[in-house]
Amino acid sequence: MAETRILGQDLEVSAVGLGCMGFTHAYGLPADKDESIKAIREAVEYGYTLFDTAECYVEKNAVGILERNEDLVGEALKPYRSRIKLASKFGVTITDKGLVTDSRPETIRKAIDGSLKRLQTDHLDLYYQHRIDAETPAEEVAGVMADLIKEGKILHWGISETNEEYLRKAHAVCPVTCIQNRLSMMARWHESLFPVLEELNIGYVAFSPIANGFLTDSFKKGERFAEGDYRNRMPQYTDEGYDANTDLLSLIRSLAREHDATPAQISLAWVLNKKPYIVPIPGSRKTARIKENFDAADIVLTSDQVAAIDEKLDSITTSDVFGGSAIRK
């Protein structure tokens, strides 16, 4: 039986979840719809139970028609709804000049109804504030979440890219089940939140756990991606980035050989074994990669082994890593 983990008080999910964004957004043109639906459904059969999407994951396809990630995920998972946990997000619009945040109560109300319709369900298992909105207090957002829980539209809520101050304010009004922050061997700046999460019994859903694919060690210096692929402007994928990350990739290759695993699996195993309440949500369009990522949960690293890896990570030089699109002021 596949390993499961508990987020917050009682949200049980597979130890590895599936980030669905890449099927339609951020990695060039949307993937073939039928192939995407097939891949998502095969993920269910393989053991995934947590599927992550967002209202703002929208991209034009080859003929200029907007494709919404929630529409795709809803269609793919409708036959499996009772077997899986659906997570989506509100509060962000993506523009050419950055992200626009809006978490006003009326915006949230409109967003949840739209997401439920597109996802073909009457409730979400987990609903995230996608980014903090500086104009709307945490307490006000949490109050709306409490109302949505009472109404049965959502069962749990979380905050993506949160900080301690905002998290505490929100949690005091309506208990937060989990945060969703970036975490990988190249992005460790949220580890300082671990004591807070343990104090408040809040889970950690880790996005970009393979540094947007870089830690798969599948790409080479000088390689470029399709037009519109965000990786073309990520610092880890520049020629300078590859040069700076030589020691990091060598470390991951060595660990992969030691544990009879792939570099991607080692990168995920490091995340999984940091804390028992962390659930990474790597994304891929490829069934083979989706299965490979899921199997990372079978790799056991002791606390001493994780600490030894951390010590090495602290001592080697790495490039900057993509930290997310800027919020437009």
As annotated, the active-site residues are: 57
Torsion of CA 147, 83, 265, 72, to 10 degrees: -70
What radius of gyration do the chain's Cα atoms show?
Answer: 19
308 Cβ contact list (under 8 Å, min separation 6): none
Spatial CA neighbour of 212 closest among 22, 67, 36, 54: 22
Give dist(CA 266, CA 281) in Å, integer: 14
**Is residue 297 within 8 Å of 15, Cβ to Cβ?**
yes
Contacts 24+ apart (CB under 8 A), 301-308: 301/259, 301/269, 301/270, 301/273, 302/273, 303/273, 305/273, 306/270, 306/273, 306/274
